[in-house]
Structure 1
């Protein structure tokens, strides 16, 4: 099948390269000419494991090509996927400017050509597919028959290639049975179950899924805070909860909360849309508020362990919103840095991330020194905060922390490190949702839970 993908971000590129790998002829289009130039040279402009190999393989085979003008894609492609960004602000309102820009640029195709299908994979408010179809039909000639379908993407950054080839489910929201059948056949080579439904239900399914995950993560962090105050061990509590098949073990880890381009945006959008529809989502709204408080909670824990932080050097280990990506959109590290600078003007902050350093140097204030290694970032630090649970940080030994740092105090914001082993070797490691075990040679008094230095 001849198809096109408009929007060459991670989702669009993984979708286009994936279908090309299944034998289809695919053109990936993006108005960012610089990005298209890089892709045409085989350069992937972001970190996504496995994606480069799939792209290069299919470019070499002639099944995957790139372009920067979306207006003519319907003249050549039978099927077009829209994977453009739909960002939202603090109020939750999604911006569909990029989507409407593409829709309005599509040019008519020959009367002899077949009916076209446009698939919206971008996360959008409920009713967007219907509006897009009406917009196209009002503008295009009568012979240009088109169906707009919703197939929301459920890809995870860092796992996009795997999620394309091994989807947990494929939701097809359509008002036309022929379009549903064609898209069902297209996806049958993929192993995930196919759910055929209407367009509005498909659109809401995506928003509801991410809002549910946001609620679960915020619940985990609220219980972790309670565990700290009551002397319980949250990892043990989470393990116990996760054994219940009605709950499951996923998304119960406590830490610095959720970030990225999906969960925060989609949760806010659902709250905004629900308010406008007269069905307030108070639970999701509370989850968003709880998530926003987590960086402040971590700063207060740092303040309990370190006297006069404004005169100290603090290192952030990890900047991306999660491991496996260089994406820093709405990353907890950004809120954490802002909170540290707000509460402690003059604090020295260094940071290191195995993949996000280049992105960080463009985003972070000049007061933050982005280093090229964990050792460089930790050198002379009075405390460190594990922000992203990269495997590399788990390999840092206790002696390394003690030799590199001025004071080996680690705030493990992801419970990624072996706190018991580090504490036993003279490193203060304070996790989330558990009482710290202070090394004997670090505590000034046996009554002190956390040494303040």
Structure 2
């Protein structure tokens, strides 16, 4: 099939590249000339395992091209995918400015029947708004469909090529058949529904996963107080098929481009329909508060923060991505600096992205985890990168001013910690610590 993808962010770029991998002719369109130039050099503007290799392969095999010319993309495609951003407005609602702009541009460039497929996460009713915009600007036939994405940053290529399900929201039998054929190489688990339900499925899915994260973090906080181990609690819960083990890892809360944005947007969607989504409001509040749990543990170990040096391991909101959008590290480092702490920060991939958004004279940017730990009074581990999981803890403790480790992602086991001198605190595992170590004054 001939496909154009408008927007080369995580969703658009990964979707376009993976559709080309399936044998389709794909044109990826973006108004950012610099980004298109990078892609035409066969480089990826985002860090995503396996993506660069697929870009190079399908570009060389002439199934994939990149351009800023939206007219060219629309006119040479049967399916036009909208994958532009829907950033939050100050009140939490999704900003649909880019969606409406792209719908207008697509309509003015149409030259034949097109399927306009929305993969951007949009509030219920948005696709009907797209249909209205296009109808007013073109004489050519078209169908608007909603096909939400469910990829995870860090495993986006794998998720796209091996999806749990494909959701197709459409009012057109013809469009349904074409899109079913397009997605059949990926999975037989294709759910066809109305457009509004497809739009809601995306928000409901992300809100439910966010709820699981906040729930297990609340359980972890109780475990800290009563002496239980949240990892064992989560394991016991996860074997229940009605619950499942995924998203039951306690830590410092969710971040990234999806969960924070989509949970806030769903609260607004509900509010606009005169419904008070109390549960989801609590999920958001719990997640926000959880980020500062690590600060309380740090203060308990160091007594005072002013004048201390703290290493921060991990700046991305999760491992295997360079995305720092709504990463907990922003608020935690802000709080550290505000308390008079000198921060030594290290992230194996996301460091430059973080630095461009948060550069402060009290932050030292380090070249390795050991470099960050050297002469520090404590380490705060915020992202569970493999480089931290595999580190030699004896080597780390020997270069520190004080062996204090606040593990915000429960990376290290009781066995690993018991052999060290670390004053170790994690999330919901109060039994894993060494109480004999005293911090130097």
Please give the TM-score of this superposition, normalised by the length of structure 2.
0.97
> What is the DSSP-based 3-state SS (H/G/I as helix, E as strand, rest coil) of the residue aligned with 2:306?
helix
Equivalent position of 2:87 in the other structure: 87
Equivalent position of 1:104 in the other structure: 104
Equivalent position of 1:55 in the other structure: 55
Deviations 1:288-336 (A, max 9, x none): 0110011222101110010221110011100000001010000011111
Deviations 1:234-281 (A, max 9, x none): 111111111111111111111010000001100000001101112221
1:150–1:199 Cα contact (<8 Å) kept: yes
| More displaced 10-residue stretch of structure 1: 347-356 or 69-78 | 69-78
1:314–1:381 Cα contact (<8 Å) kept: yes
Unmatched segments (≥5 aa) in structure 1: 444-450
Deviations 1:212-232 (A, max 9, x none): 011110000001001111111
Distance in 2 of aligned mates of 1:293 and 1:415: 18
Equivalent position of 2:434 in the other structure: 439
Equivalent position of 1:371 in the other structure: 366
In the alignment, which of 172, 177, 191 is matched to residue 176 of structure 1? 172
Distance change in 2, residues 1:58/1:25 (3 Å): same
CA-CA distance at 1:21 after TM superposition: 1.2
In the alignment, which of 315, 318, 324 is matched to residue 314 of structure 2? 318
Aligned-residue Cα RMSD (Å) equals 1.4
CA-CA distance at 1:74 after TM superposition: 2.5
Deviations 1:138-192 (A, max 9, x none): 111x2x1111100001110011111111011100000111111110111111125
2:417–2:432 Cα contact (<8 Å) kept: no
1:401–1:427 Cα contact (<8 Å) kept: no
2:301–2:423 Cα contact (<8 Å) kept: no
Equivalent position of 1:309 in the other structure: 305
Distance in 1 of aligned mates of 2:433 and 2:195: 56
> What is the DSSP-based 3-state SS (H/G/I as helix, E as strand, rest coil) of the residue aligned with 1:53?
helix
Equivalent position of 1:41 in the other structure: 41
| Equivalent residue runs for 1:69-80 within 5 Å | 69-80=69-80
Equivalent position of 1:353 in the other structure: 347
Distance change in 2, residues 1:436/1:408 (3 Å): farther
Distance in 1 of aligned mates of 2:85 and 2:369: 33
> What is the DSSP-based 3-state SS (H/G/I as helix, E as strand, rest coil) of the residue aligned with 2:322?
coil
Distance change in 2, residues 1:148/1:405 (3 Å): same
Equivalent position of 1:387 in the other structure: 382
2:424–2:434 Cα contact (<8 Å) kept: no
Distance in 2 of aligned mates of 1:439 and 1:287: 32
Distance in 2 of aligned mates of 1:198 and 1:291: 32
In the alignment, which of 415, 418, 425 is matched to residue 410 of structure 2? 415
1:295–1:339 Cα contact (<8 Å) kept: no
Distance in 2 of aligned mates of 1:438 and 1:415: 12
1:228–1:433 Cα contact (<8 Å) kept: yes
Deviations 1:410-445 (A, max 9, x none): 0000001124422332122211001154436515xx
CA-CA distance at 1:365 after TM superposition: 2.9
Distance in 2 of aligned mates of 1:246 and 1:273: 28
2:148–2:198 Cα contact (<8 Å) kept: yes
How many corresponding residue pairs?
Answer: 439
> What is the DSSP-based 3-state SS (H/G/I as helix, E as strand, rest coil) of the residue aligned with 1:278?
coil
| More displaced 10-residue stretch of structure 1: 356-365 or 211-220 | 356-365
Distance in 2 of aligned mates of 1:159 and 1:392: 18
Distance in 1 of aligned mates of 2:373 and 2:134: 56
In the alignment, which of 177, 193, 197 is matched to residue 201 of structure 1? 197
Equivalent position of 1:139 in the other structure: 137
Equivalent position of 1:447 in the other structure: none
Distance in 2 of aligned mates of 1:176 and 1:130: 13
| More displaced 10-residue stretch of structure 1: 252-261 or 368-377 | 368-377
| Equivalent residue runs for 1:221-236 within 5 Å | 221-236=217-232
Equivalent position of 1:446 in the other structure: none
1:70–1:102 Cα contact (<8 Å) kept: no
Equivalent position of 1:406 in the other structure: 401
2:71–2:109 Cα contact (<8 Å) kept: no
Distance in 2 of aligned mates of 1:212 and 1:3: 32
1:268 aligns with 2:279: no
Equivalent position of 1:252 in the other structure: 248
